[in-house]
Chain A
């Protein structure tokens, strides 16, 4: 088993208030599996992802439960131990490709970053590996993009740069936190294809987080539906999509814009 999360609970604490972002979350994933987490905003899905990735400062939140990744508990690790895993076996891409890249650092250096942290490769070798990852992420002419700055690229391209940077060390698990939400529909479909392709070629397991059940169905074999920090429903993607057991899941599906609705001209914008 690649990942086994048991009773994850995340409580944010202020000076005088406490708030459970995630109350009880459990999930197990096999090597190479693609699993989706769906829920509306505030359901705790992104918090779950960030907690697994070790990105929630421990001073801000209490995180309890277990998250065994390749046999060791991510939640019990020291910061130093966690840094050994971050960006190497476990990677993440974020929702905001526009702001997730450093505006004053060249693309190439950002793609190479994990190599710089985790390996002692020479500069030339790092570049070769970076170009390889950029090609894998579907970036055309990586050699040229290597010395570009983020502002010279479109949103879709930037998300591909993020994917390349996340994959440069061939992690076993890629957490994709709403990676296509900020992109338009055509680009969204292309990015999904790329992720599917990477999963097929490299065997990278993907934990895909989205508010859009349709997008999740297109990519994932299994789906977890979350609401207010709890798991509402879980099962094979098609089953959840076509035969939802829970009312909430049905609402999520109904909330999706479909072709019929769009043709009716009822769009909002």
Chain B
């Protein structure tokens, strides 16, 4: 067990190093130079060279990467070219917003999909099941930015439940303001994923209900509901947990787009702006942060997997 954990942790670190290095590599290949966006197009070659030396851009790629890594361990993420502010400070206010958005989206996925998946499986072929199957197909095929527009249109413009762009982490009053505004973008991220999870859980439960051990449960006088809840559900949840862990990466990716639609000032919005400005230290920090979240969530899912399935514990 301890050995497995060490192995997984090692893998976690290697993954993070690889992802951050690839991000460095990508930006050195990409056309465009940060000095252009700082100095403007009329700068002399001399000015550009001086600034490049100042920013450390004249160093070879691997050296810049190690400098960045060294900074990471001392808590120094560099200075934003664009805002002339330490990256850590720049992102501090925004990480919380995106984390709340992503967390809320994840909670919505779980809260929506698990009961509906169970309901569909319990009353397979019934009215609820058939209606939800159609709704699922539709929801799954809508991209989340379009869903964002639709939700904005309905709840902001027609029903006037919230005002687009009114949210700012600095002025939000208490948790109510946060959740109230972030609920809709979270919903836009969550619905397509929830639809997929419903479908997956439904078929996973129905698959388990055909297993031999379910026949054993029936032979003891259990009702169908009891068999589903007490026997099939736990086994059916195992693949769903893996799926949910994988959706966390999608949620974070989805939030980048949806933050634009709802004008939420999170790291997603910052990422898009910073890529445009070639503001590498900011991009680098955000990429590292997203990679960290994804890798940690997968690690957690793996641990949960072991709790759920005793057959995996000894390995």
Contacts and interface: CB of A to CB of B under 8 A. Distances in A.
Chief secondary structure at chain B's binding surface: helix
A103 B223 contact: no
B220 A113 contact: yes
Interface residues of A, number: 29
Given A96-B212, A104-B310, A86 B221 contact: yes
Contact of A102 (B218, B235, B238): B235
A118 B211 contact: no
Contacts of A110: 216
A103 B213 contact: yes
Nearest to B226: A117
A151 interface: yes
B218 A86 contact: yes
Nearest to A91: B219
A26 to B, nearest CB: 23
Contacts, number: 69
A191 interface: no
A99 B221 CA distance: 19
Given A103-B235, A103-B309, A104-B308, A55 B212 contact: no
A151 B216 CA distance: 17
Interface string A90-103: 01101010011111
Contacts of B213: 99-103
Interface in B192-250: 211-213, 215-223, 226, 231, 234-235, 238
A114 interface: yes
A86 B215 CA distance: 12
A102 B231 contact: yes
A240 interface: no
Contacts of B309: 103-104
A104 B219 contact: no
Contact of A87 (B211, B215, B221): B221
A84 interface: yes
Given A96-B212, A103-B311, A104-B310, A53 B219 contact: yes
A47 interface: no
Nearest to A84: B221
B222 A99 contact: no
Nearest to A98: B212
A34 interface: no
Nearest to B224: A79
Given A99-B212, A104-B235, A113 B223 contact: no
Contact of B234 (A85, A92, A104, A117): A104
Which of B213, B219, B226, B309 has the most CB atoms of chain A within a 10 A radius of its CB? Answer: B219
B208 to A, nearest CB: 10
Contacts of B222: 83, 113, 117
B223 A149 contact: no
A225 interface: no
A105 interface: yes
Contacts of B212: 94, 96, 99-100
A51 interface: no
Given A104-B234, A149-B311, A94 B221 contact: no
A162 interface: yes
Nearest to A90: B219
A114 B234 contact: no
Given A99-B212, A101-B213, A55 B219 contact: yes
Contacts of B220: 86-87, 113-114, 117, 165
Which of A55, A88, A113, A114 has the most CB atoms of chain B within a 10 A radius of its CB? Answer: A113
Given A100-B213, A102-B213, A103-B213, A149 B221 contact: no
A105 B235 CA distance: 10
Given A149-B311, A151-B311, A101 B216 contact: yes
B221 A114 contact: yes
B310 A113 contact: no
Contact of B231 (A84, A94, A105): A105
Contacts of B308: 104
B217 A102 contact: yes
Nearest to B223: A83
B241 to A, nearest CB: 13
Interface in A37-85: 53-55, 83-85
Contacts of B221: 83-88, 114, 117-118
A268 B39 CA distance: 85
A84 B222 CA distance: 9
Contacts of B216: 94, 100-102, 110, 162, 165
Contacts of B218: 54-55, 86
Nearest to A83: B221
Contacts of B234: 104-105
7 contacts: A55-B218, A94-B212, A94-B215, A100-B213, A100-B215, A102-B213, A103-B309
Return the 8 tightest CB-CB contacts between A and B, nearest first: A87-B220, A86-B221, A99-B212, A87-B221, A149-B310, A102-B213, A83-B221, A114-B220
Given A55-B215, A113-B220, A151-B310, 9 more contacts: A96-B212, A100-B212, A101-B213, A103-B213, A103-B309, A104-B234, A114-B220, A117-B220, A151-B311
